[in-house]
Every structure is written in structure tokens, then in C-alpha cells.
Amino acid sequence: MVKNRNVASVRPKIRSSYKRPFDLTILILAHLLFLPLWLLLWTLIPIAIWLGDRGPIFYRQQRTGKDGRVFTIFKFRTMVPDAYQKGPAWTIENDVRLTRVGKFLRRTAMDELPGLWSIMKGDMSLVGPRALNVEEHKQLEQEIPGFEARLCVKPGLTGMAQVFDSADQAEDKLAYDLQYAEDMSLWLDAKLLILSVRNTITARWDRRVGKPTVADVAPSPHDTETHRDGTLENSRLGDEDIT
């Protein structure tokens, strides 16, 4: 694990001043350059979800953001409408609550597309720690010393923990998050975005176990040790608040 968990003070504000302009520039350019593709996705995905079970297209959930501020995130629905009542909060391997369309959306991470609105509003960044459910974050703060340190940066649509491993324990995800907070830069964000696009194009978001350590992407003066025990992935909760 990262030796120094308290990273809130090691990243001067000027070092993260690139984030907002970078996010908006990438979003605007991506929509201008690939407008037909965006229109196609925003048309076909809602239709496919609705045709699957005539259920809601989106779900919303309260997430914990930078400095503990709570915000609402929207996603495309990937599970049956009453998934939270039918099973555990965590999504497990071969979860029967996932819809046919939902399985594809999760493999490609396209269920995250509505989260772009949170980036436009400034609640999130393109790259950063995963925004956790409010109750989940409170629980992990009680269980893991220093867990709140990850709140020193805005949560991201993608990030180190999201790119490198889908099955890490919370402690290991924290190591990735703190590593990013210490090493974040425009170049690192660009590299993680490229890897994320690759995972989406190749539908590899559900097959990310056994990747190199974060040091292979962002060398750090701190020693990092990861532990992959094949436990349930705890960053994807059930669709408990569906609209």
C-alpha cells in the first residue's frame, strides 16, 4: 500500500489547475469530432434498454465527491428495475440481475455516458477516483484508516483503479486512488483516457485482472503493494434508486 495515506496536502492547487480546462476541452472536441457517433449512441442505447424490459432508462444515485460533497450521478440502467430488492448491493460475477443490454453496457462502460453531465457541472472530472455511493463511502471510512484522503481530488469517470483492476479489494483501490492523487498530471490523465477508450472499444472493462502495477504508468517515490484476491468487485452497486 502507499505508505503516506494523508495526501491532501502534497498536491498544491496549481498542480491540479489543468483539470477543469482539460475536461471541458476534451468533452467539447470529442462531441464536435464524433457528433454522429454520439447521436447514434444516445438514440440506440435508450431504445435498447426500454425494449429490453420496458423499464426506466436511467438510474440515479447519491455519490460522495471532492471534500465529502454529495452529488447526484446518472447512469444508463443495467439491471432489472427491482434489482436492489432481489439481491446484494454488490454486483457479482454472472449476476442474474443484469439485463442483456446491461451486460454489454458494463463491458464497454457505456452505462457511464450520462455521467458526462456530472463532469460538465463540475461535480466530477474525466479522470480521478471512482465516486462511491454515500453509504459505502461512510462504511469504508470507518473500516479503513485514511480512506477519506481520496476525497482530496474530484472523482472521475475513469481512473487508475477503474482501468487496472475490476476485482481489487477496497484497500487496493485506495492505493491506486492515492497514487493518482500524488502523481496526477495532464500527461497521466491523457494516458488513462487512452487506456479507457481502448477498454471500451475492445469491451475489456470486465477483464482487467492481473494488470501491471500503477508504477508502470505513473512512477512514484512511494512503495506500492497490491493484493489481488479475486474478491467481489465493490465499486458497482445495484440500481437501488431508479428513475
Q: For residue range 26-53, what is the model confidence (pLDDT) as tens digits? A: 999 999 999 999 999 999 999 999 999 8
Closest CA to 217 of 191, 182, 185: 191
Q: How many CB atoms lie within 10 A of CB 230?
A: 10
Q: How far apart are CA 196 and CA 126, in angstroms?
A: 11
Which pLDDT score is estimated for 96? 76
User: Residue 65 and residue 20: Cα distance in Å, rounded?
Assistant: 15
So what's the pLDDT on residue 28?
A: 96
Given this model, what pLDDT does residue 91 score? 56
Q: Tell me, what's the pLDDT at 22? A: 96
pLDDT attached to residue 203: 81
Residue partners of 133: CB distance under 8 A and separation at least 6: 61, 62, 63, 64, 237
Q: What is the 3-state secondary structure (H, E, C) of the chain?
A: CCCCCCCCCCCCHHHHCCHHHHHHHHHHHHHHHCHHHHHHHHHHHHHHHHHHHCCCCEEEEEEECHHHCEEEEEEECCECCCHHHHCCCECCCCCCCECHHHHHHHHHCHHHHHHHHHHHHCCCEEECCCCCEHHHHHHHHHHCCCHHHHHHCCCEEECHHHHHCCCCCHHHHHHHHHHHHHHCCHHHHHHHHHHHHHHHHCCCCCCCCCCCCHHHCCCCCCCCCCCCCCCCCCCCECCCCEC
Which residues touch 171 (CB under 8 Å, ≥6 apart)?
A: 1, 144, 227
Name the stretches of the chain with pLDDT < 50: 1-5, 7-10, 12, 87-88, 209-243
* Backbone angles phi and psi of 237, in degrees to 5: -90, 165
**Residue 65 and residue 131 in contact, taking contact as beta carbons nearer than 8 Å:** yes
Distance CA 93, CA 132 (A): 20
As a whole number of angstroms, the distance between CA 115 and CA 125 comes to 10
pTM across the whole model: 0.78
